[in-house]
Amino acid sequence: MHKIAVVGTGYVGLVGGAGLADFGNRVVCVDRIEEKIEQLRRGEIPFYEPGLSDVVKRNVREGRLSFTTDLGKAVAENDVVFCAVGTPEGEGGQVDLSQVDVVAREIGTHMTGYRVIVQKSTVPVGTARRLRRIIEETRGEAAEFDVVSNPEFLREGSAVEDFMRPDRVVVGADSERAMEIMRGIYAPLYINRTPIVETTPESAELIKYASNAFLATKISFINEVANICENVGADVQVVSYAMGLDKRIGPKFLHAGAGYGGSCFPKDTKALVHIARDAGAEARIVDAAVAVNREQKERMVAKVVSACGGDVSGRTVGLLGLAFKPNTDDMRYAASIVLAEGLRKLGATIRAFDPVAVDNARELMPFIDYVEDAYEVAEDADALVIVTEWNEFRQLDLDRLKKTMRSPVVIDCRNVYDPEDFESHGFSYTGVGRGKR
């Protein structure tokens, strides 16, 4: 058992802290916001993530997981400190490390013996060295410590499963002493033969960015193929399926749609471009993927306008789904934002429903009329847009939809349906890259 402090109770920190406690460690999660800590002590999770509440409650009940606002005490009493604070996008795509710097100074001030400082947040190459320098400048006594880079690879909506059964664990360390401690922390994963990649801090930091940028590029690539399909009469669903059968390519992330969003891909792709430029290199492919993704979301607005006969002024457009992906309430860089704001500027009235993201969406888009289910969205609507591929939107009663809509027009931004499903019920259907059949 290890005594661990996790600084930051956001997405990465809370999932990671709960997971480490479930491995049998004693974990205290730290956050400076008292209200948030009290909420967690009551067993309330501040964001939507399937399965996380059960893991948190179980480990609190069994005495392995606790919460505090006292960072100094947490640093003084625990041997391993995970830094999982926010690293938001700064000016020009550069990563804002101000919260990381604050934590580093606090660690330097309060550590009383050997500590392993684990950087869990996504940070630019060189941040581990930066942490070491700040801690060395602020430590009150000559306490020994090591800094480790241990990037997370959690997918929103399946983060608990990803933490418990990861594809790999990446640990970047210069010290064998620190590496041995990290092996002990992740020992439960050795039983499942999870690959543990042991490398330098610089390589570990870059692995995270390179992985996310590659996946984002794959999405942008298939969206460009989809746009070609629309112009030449091909079907991207067939094209991507055949591509995915090639083992060198694989089927994942080859799903054409409205582009990527969320907390990782948009921020990490721009950050990698910035990192490359700072290092005197270029990331032209990644830069292009960013541009394609931005344009793809704008294309969805044009699709809706075209499906409505070229004009949406005075018309009601219903949006099914608002979160950037299913099984999360995360609205960061969601395609629904571009869609709703674009259609509003063109004079449309927007009505929408999402199973879990409405509260977050309302803060960003108060002009939307939020309703209780998909059929209320469709009531007297001139067009219905599938924006997020929630499972409950995959088996809609199409006859019921047609009866309640003013015009039977559907724009499927995620290619959830076969065009024939809607067309056989008398709808005008527009997908992404569906071409001619």
Whether 300 and 424 map to the same domain: the answer is yes
Whether 172 and 316 map to the same domain: the answer is no
Whether 44 and 155 map to the same domain: the answer is yes
Residue 109 sits in a domain of what CATH number?
Answer: 3.40.50.720
Q: Evaluate whether residue 205 is within a structural domain.
A: no
Whether 18 and 84 map to the same domain: the answer is yes
Q: Residue 83, Cβ neighbours under 10 Å: how many?
A: 26
pLDDT tens digit string along 336-371? 999 999 999 999 999 999 999 999 999 999 999 999
Q: Evaluate whether residue 252 is within a structural domain.
A: yes
- Output the pTM of the full model: 0.93
Tokens representing residue 422 in the block: 């809607």
Q: What is the DSSP letter of 246?
A: S
Whether 45 and 128 map to the same domain: the answer is yes
| Cα–Cα distance, 334 to 325 (Å, whole number) | 8
Q: What is the DSSP letter of 225?
A: H
By C-alpha distance, which of 223, 191, 416, 222 is closest to 320? 416
Whether 239 and 193 map to the same domain: the answer is no
Whether 192 and 219 map to the same domain: the answer is no
Q: Evaluate whether residue 206 is within a structural domain.
A: no
If the chain, 437 residues long, is cut into consecutive pieces of 10 residues, what is the mean pLDDT of each piece? 96 96 97 95 93 96 97 96 93 89 94 94 94 89 89 94 96 97 94 92 97 98 97 96 97 97 94 94 97 98 97 98 97 98 98 98 98 97 98 96 97 97 96 83
| Cα–Cα distance, 79 to 435 (Å, whole number) | 59
Give residue for tokens 């960015």.
209
Beta-carbon contacts of 110 under 8 Å, excluding residues fewer than 6 positions away, are 71, 72, 73, 75, 76
Q: Evaluate whether residue 436 is within a structural domain.
A: no
> Given this model, what pLDDT does residue 1 score?
86
Cβ contact 312:304 at 8 Å: yes
Angle between helical axes of 284-307 and 265-278 (0-180°, round to 10): 150
Whether 127 and 275 map to the same domain: the answer is no
Domain boundaries, position 158? 3-199
Q: Which amino acid is at 20?
A: L
3-state secondary structure 105-155: HHHHHHCCCCEEEEECCCCCCCHHHHHHHHHHHHCCCCCCEEEEECCCCCC
Whether 50 and 195 map to the same domain: the answer is yes
Q: Evaluate whether residue 349 is within a structural domain.
A: yes
Cβ contact 413:401 at 8 Å: no
Q: Evaluate whether residue 437 is within a structural domain.
A: no
Tokens representing residue 137 in the block: 């400048």
> Given this model, what pLDDT does residue 436 score?
61
Q: What amino acid positions are annotated as catalytic residues?
A: 264
pLDDT tens digit string along 69-100? 999 999 999 999 999 999 998 887 789 999 99
